Amino acid sequence: MPPDEGRALHGAALAAARETGLPLLEIGSYCGRSTLLLADAARAAGTVAVTVDHHRGSEEQQPGEEYHDPATADPAAPGRMDTLPLFRRTLAEAGVEEYVVAVVGGSGRAARALGGGGGGRFGLVFIDGGHSEAQAAEDYESWVPQLAVGGLLVIHDVFPDPADGGRAPFRIWRRAVETGAFAEVSEHRSLRVLRRTVPDRV
Ligand SMILES: C[S@@+](CC[C@H](N)C(=O)[O-])C[C@H]1O[C@@H](n2cnc3c(N)ncnc32)[C@H](O)[C@@H]1O
């Protein structure tokens, strides 16, 4: 995530945490970079950031793919990734472990196990997980119902032009807009921020 998108995410997280006082949710922890931004916002508002990832990487991050980083190789399982140790180190070095609750597992399974749809328990939902159509839809359907009224939905890698990147995040962003339950707040490159104005509509 480029620095200006990071600043936009941090600003949204800070506003959401302060205005709602509720925990912030992230799908896609990876090595903890964006989690640091949510953790800082959570610390400022006296809440926590909950972040979900199976830590095995997205399709485009696998060995041989465009976004693979050899530092993420799992030493115990050749050919697999494991970003959990890097994620933990990132949080520890920044001194923000107490502001983060890390959930290690698949996004949909985690949402079902942790209570499923409804409830408005999060002040912010930040979607930056898998980019397949099925995965983006599952992230949306699993977690957006848990966003409180007044809370912010932030989606990364929203590319209206297919020449710029995959369309799955764009489709869930458009789906949210078309529900009529969200107001558009801001956009910074591929980062889109929406505010929930109506409960229970996804
Ligand atoms: C683009 S990275 C996240 C980057 C991170 N937000 C940042 O800015 O530093 C996407 C992450 O989503 C995770 N992911 C992909 N599909 C997932 C799924 N079904 N459940 C949980 N995590 C998933 C991958 O393991 C990967 O770490």
Q: Is residue 202 part of a domain?
A: no
The CATH number given to whatever domain includes residue 84 is 3.40.50.150
Q: Is 128's C-beta closer than 6 angstroms to any atom of ligand 1?
A: yes
Burial class from Cβ neighbours inside 10 Å (0-12, 13-18, 19+) for residue 101 reads middle
pLDDT digit string (tens) for 41-54? 999 999 999 999 99
Q: Is 34's C-beta closer than 6 angstroms to any atom of ligand 1?
A: yes
Q: Is residue 139 part of a domain?
A: yes
Q: Is residue 201 part of a domain?
A: no
- Hey, which residues are catalytic here? 131
pLDDT digit string (tens) for 8-61? 999 999 999 999 999 999 999 999 999 999 999 999 999 999 999 999 999 999
Closest ligand 1 atom to residue 33 Cα is: 9
Q: Is residue 7 part of a domain?
A: yes
Q: Is residue 138 part of a domain?
A: yes
Domains: count for the chain: 1
Question: Whose C-alpha lies nearest to ligand 1, atom 24?
Answer: 57
Domain that holds residue 141: 3-196
Q: Is residue 96 part of a domain?
A: yes
Its pTM stands at: 0.97
Q: Is residue 41 part of a domain?
A: yes
